Structure 1
């Protein structure tokens, strides 16, 4: 069993590390964290988007699954000089995403609906508004779980790729100097494989968060030692904590 001392997190460092769950692990298990975003998110230009021949004014509702989608949608609408109808309906996967809309619209004057952070929670909302023609702003990484669910339930929607993920340049990083690598999206796995084409996992541990990240890791023939969320560990830090405690008990 590899002793975990150095951990690489494929995300930016929290704004206040000392008040984050990572600090609890540092104090509790004497581990070290390094934070490095493995990819960046870039919005499509209006010229790039026009190539899709999608007319955003044809839709009466929007499905938002992230803050990125909101930011890039409204930026694109501005670039295209599109005026968004006051009758537009917004379907968000969580209340946090719904409240983020206040950055761009008068929250109380619009028709906004949100789920409980799961894709399935959107279905009852969408079925109540089955006559709406919906657009799903997304990135260029397929979210087959969401697309399949919407299609299987006959939701009238169209994907609109409005932003994309670009792999970061990790040249100079000694990827094998870490005992544990933590990934939060399929894009992180893609960046690992592109930056380190000769990478072999060996005894190095890998943690993933989310079903699609786990699937991407397995598709890349990586061994996932710490999957999250689980019933006992709903967050990445809790899953790491649980793994380290279990490893100590085996000694």
Structure 2
């Protein structure tokens, strides 16, 4: 099972429970980050030989892990109906992996138009590409106008840049493994001390 978010984990196990499907103890889980892998503990007995994750949270590191197991495994890529990662599906096809897509949930934008148009924000941080999409769904003519933009993860960073926004805070990085650490680093470097 390929999992790229906590959301995917929640919905995978919810659907299995609703369908009364017992997940085999031999199932292997391939996760995008260690944080996603550790979240599996909520649902399974966590064993290192069953749970694998990329070294740095990038798709490339996930591919390196999958590559070691691709010859004798069938993969199920659990993703959102409208947001599967084309880089992952493309890699699986190119490398002749036996895989299926499992659309387990749908990502929809909340209506936050009033909040976004009535308040000027100093910083907006995105954690998923759908967050970037939601911003433009709510405020189609959004202009950055000095608002600092942060993004967590490579796919989110790519979505920010494709939307024409200037990305100033990027996480995870070796010196900033979380968004909190990245914000702290940015603020200490750019905000004068009083």
Query: Where on the TM-score scale, by shorter chain, does this alignment land: which range?
Result: 0.7 to 0.9
Q: Which runs of 5 or more residues in structure 2 are unaligned?
A: none
* Residue 160 (str. 1) matches residue 99 (str. 2): no
Q: Which runs of 5 or more residues in structure 1 are unaligned?
A: 1-61
| Corresponding residue for residue 78 of structure 1 | 17
Asked if 2 retains the 8 angstrom alpha-carbon contact of 1:92 and 1:122, the reply is: no
Asked if 2 retains the 8 angstrom alpha-carbon contact of 1:88 and 1:111, the reply is: no
Deviation at 1:168, TM superposition (A): 1.1
Deviation at 1:106, TM superposition (A): 4.6
Q: 1:113 aligns with which of 43, 51, 55?
A: 51
SS in 1 for 2:71: coil
Deviation at 1:208, TM superposition (A): 1.7
* Residue 206 (str. 1) matches residue 141 (str. 2): no
SS in 1 for 2:185: helix
Deviation per CA, 1:168-225, whole angstroms, max 9, x where unpaired? 1114214442112111111111111111123222222222222211221222222223
| Corresponding residue for residue 180 of structure 1 | 123
Deviation at 1:228, TM superposition (A): 2.9
- Report how many residues are paired: 187
Larger radius of gyration: 1
Indicate how the Cα distance of structure 1 residues 247 and 123 shifts in structure 2: closer, same or farther if over 3 A, else same: closer
| Corresponding residue for residue 131 of structure 1 | 72
Between the two structures, name the one with larger relative contact order (CA 8 Å, sep ≥ 6).
1
Separation in structure 1 between the aligned mates of residue 123 and residue 132 of structure 2, nearest angstrom = 14
| Corresponding residue for residue 237 of structure 1 | 180
Most deviating of 63-72 and 185-194: 63-72
| TM-score normalised by structure 1 residue count | 0.62
Deviation at 1:121, TM superposition (A): 4.5
SS in 1 for 2:165: coil
| TM-score normalised by structure 2 residue count | 0.77
Indicate how the Cα distance of structure 1 residues 66 and 247 shifts in structure 2: closer, same or farther if over 3 A, else same: closer
